[in-house]
Structure 1
Amino acid sequence: MNLEVFKHIYFRMPTAVRLLLSIFVLMFLFGLVIHLVEPNQFPSIFDGVWWAFITGATVGYGDYVPLTIPGRIIGILLLLSGGGMLTFYITTLAATTINHENKLSEGKVSFNGSHHIVVIGWNERTKQLADMIADKDSNQEVVLIDRTLDKLPYRHYPVHFIHGDPSEDVVLVQAKIESADAVLISADITIDERKADINTILATIAVRGNNQDVPINAEILTISQVDNAIRAGADTVISSNDFMSTLFYHELFHKKHTRPFETVLNLLESQQFNHVPLPDKMDGSTFKESVLFFLENGELLIGVIRDGEWHMNPQHDMELDKDDTLLLLSAW
């Protein structure tokens, strides 16, 4: 290896690694020299290197001490050079650590994991979602992409923050979108609804272009943009305005002593919906018979999807067909 190649490699190393390598080389040289100068006092090169590190770190155990004038001169040179380098290394390492944490908080560090969930858009809804995921499964990693945040304290939130526009490939590469298990695109409710939906659709197109298989859940605010979101590649379109309007209606006109919002909230916290095809042996059975069948397995049959139509809590004597999809409730 010639000098230019060595310089090319050495000066492209991280600062902390470069300093550590320099310290090892310097301490080895001092250990070798003191061993050659005082072989009786320092029987091996390792003993000399040990003395160099202990002296350079200003610990000074006193187990190895130079006795001759040349040896003590070497010790003085070691304190002047090696000690300063060790101190500089420690301060540089601390500064590098703090700088890295600041970059994490500023969203400038790429994510290097896999099987993670990518959440696009930071708001109170996604904040609570991140807390719920951390509470249910602390091992599940969440990567947040947002362009409006300048800083997100790394220690305070259980997410890996990436600052940037989610419709740009370079930002999605930083979030390692090709290895993600799922993507949620949350609408920006601080801007015009139509503009927010356009941003959501652009992000959906970019994500689908970088990962053809990842499930994309997109929140759309206006009904007119639902079909466009599906065309863009969204697997599930969450029409939050429709959901809230329906919930408002239930709250206004519910029966006495009923609490629709609390009921839905507690239902979704403890139960999950499952869509399953009708088992072959249940073909031709009634809805009531199927309810009893699934209850034995700890699941509750609440509806049937037939030819694209949803039949929630249908008549108990409704006969089920092999092409039906059953809607079940089961514990998480």
Structure 2
Amino acid sequence: MKKIKEYYRKIKFYLKTFLSEPVNKILLIIFGGLALTVYIIYLIEVNKNPEIKSFFDSIWWFFITVTTVGYGDIVPKTVMGKVISIIIILIGVVLVSILSGTVASILVELRLKERKGLGKVNFSGHVTILGWNQHLERVIKSLGEFAGKNFNIVIVNDMTETEFEELKYKFIDIKLKFIKGDFTKENVLKRANIKNCKYVILLADTYNDKSMDKCDEKTLLSIINIRALNRNTKIYAEVVKEKKAKVVLNAGADDVVINGELNHVFLGSLIYSPSYPKLFKELLNSKIKLESIPKNFIGENFNSLFQFYKEKQGKLIIGILRIKKGLTIDDLLSNDSAIDKFIKNKFEEADENFFEDTKEEYEVIINLKDDYVITKKDTSCFVID
């Protein structure tokens, strides 16, 4: 008995809520009137029209008439039935137009809401990036490089519609979706479908001159709200102050990176494997030295140099430093033609070093092949002691 009363109370509540809208009242009157029309046609035609033998036949007549399709027409035989049919046809034209316009406007409105970031995420297993700073674009790029492009990225921050469209254009091959709002708020996180999110990347939200002091507090509050909605998602956070790292980890983050130049690499690689940042940190903490390449190895292949350092000195070569020669006047002009000689002499007479002050450029080459030939430009090598 209690259950029946509870159901009755719920039905009454929903009906009251539904009828509180004027549009819903009008729709109810229209559909009630149409249902009454179907019943009247059945009563009028059932014994006088061999085509209407049941109530279902009158329903079939109604839908064919109101949509003005005309397929499988059931034609009324009585005068009253024909009059009602004319009215229904006229009403049908108006109703179909209204319904088509309404559906179109709803679809356009949904599309506009999506572009403005006011929609919601319906898919699952996605990567969500919360916050906005100078690392955002590079994080997205790193995600594409480490994890491929067959996944969805949801971006949650306060950027404008135009800024997101520009961002989306830069990463046209990656599936991006935008949710606008304060990512510390639970309702914004729900729109981003954090409940079914696989990974969360929290950037220090410093864009548009936001306070650096409040970034870590905002990150901390976001993690607490995320964990309230999803206990299983992986959270990787960027913090501005190193002393806040432990607090953020205790709040529920799986890993933390300190704000810096290589953050996009660390954060992007974490999605693919949590071991990547550990590898990078080990490399950065290793005793990497820059040593001159012995002159007797010029003209030899890289494998010979690699084996020399490994076997004789117990060191591992991870790369080579090459010096790019600066552009000089001799590179542009030759002594083969009179005009080149004339221009060269004029530069010399001017007593100005237009090209000699050009700074040398450096190039780091890693993962060299064994048959790579060492040249004079390859001056040094990076070794791990």
1:148 is aligned to 2:126: no
TM superposition shift of 1:68: 2.1
TM-score by length of 2: 0.53
In structure 1, the partner of 2:117 is 107
In structure 1, the partner of 2:18 is 10
Letter in 2 for 1:8: K
CA distance in 1 between partners of 2:99 and 2:127 (Å): 37
**Does the Cα contact within 8 Å between 2:68 and 2:92 map onto a contact in 1?**
no
Letter in 1 for 2:16: H
Indicate the SS of the match to 1:97: helix
1:96 is aligned to 2:106: yes
TM superposition shift of 1:310: 5.4
Question: Aligned residues: percent identity?
Answer: 24
Gaps in structure 2 of 5+ consecutive residues = 1-7, 290-308, 315-385
Output aligned runs, 1:218-297, within 5 Å.
218-220=237-239, 225-233=241-249, 234-239=253-258, 241-243=260-262, 275=275
1:37 is aligned to 2:44: yes
In structure 1, the partner of 2:189 is 172
- Candidates 198, 217, 223, aligned match of 1:181: 198
Q: Which fold has the larger relative contact order, with Cα–Cα distance below 8 Å and residues 6 or more apart in sequence?
A: 2
CA distance in 1 between partners of 2:138 and 2:19 (Å): 45
**Does the Cα contact within 8 Å between 2:219 and 2:237 map onto a contact in 1?**
no
Indicate the SS of the match to 1:159: strand
TM superposition shift of 1:62: 5.9
Residues 160 and 54 (structure 1), Cα distance of their counterparts in 2 relative to 1, 3 Å cut: same
Cα offsets for 1:205-255 (capped at 9, x unmatched): 3223431654332334x5xx12314422344333463439xxxxxxxxxxx
CA distance in 2 between partners of 1:169 and 1:64 (Å): 56
Residues 123 and 53 (structure 1), Cα distance of their counterparts in 2 relative to 1, 3 Å cut: farther
Residues 210 and 38 (structure 1), Cα distance of their counterparts in 2 relative to 1, 3 Å cut: same
- Candidates 92, 95, 107, aligned match of 1:85: 95
**Does the Cα contact within 8 Å between 1:303 and 1:311 map onto a contact in 2?**
no
Residues 23 and 312 (structure 1), Cα distance of their counterparts in 2 relative to 1, 3 Å cut: farther
Letter in 1 for 2:215: N
TM superposition shift of 1:192: 4.8
In structure 2, the partner of 1:119 is 129
CA distance in 2 between partners of 1:122 and 1:43 (Å): 68
TM superposition shift of 1:145: 0.7
CA distance in 1 between partners of 2:238 and 2:248 (Å): 13
CA distance in 2 between partners of 1:150 and 1:61 (Å): 47
CA distance in 2 between partners of 1:304 and 1:61 (Å): 73
Residues 47 and 130 (structure 1), Cα distance of their counterparts in 2 relative to 1, 3 Å cut: farther
User: Higher Cα Rg: structure 1 or 2?
Assistant: 2
Output aligned runs, 1:68-83, within 5 Å.
68-83=78-93
CA distance in 2 between partners of 1:6 and 1:209 (Å): 31
Letter in 1 for 2:190: V
CA distance in 2 between partners of 1:236 and 1:27 (Å): 62
- Paired residues, what number? 261
**CA-atom RMSD in angstroms:** 4.6
Output aligned runs, 1:191-206, within 5 Å.
191-192=208-209, 195-196=211-212, 198-206=214-222
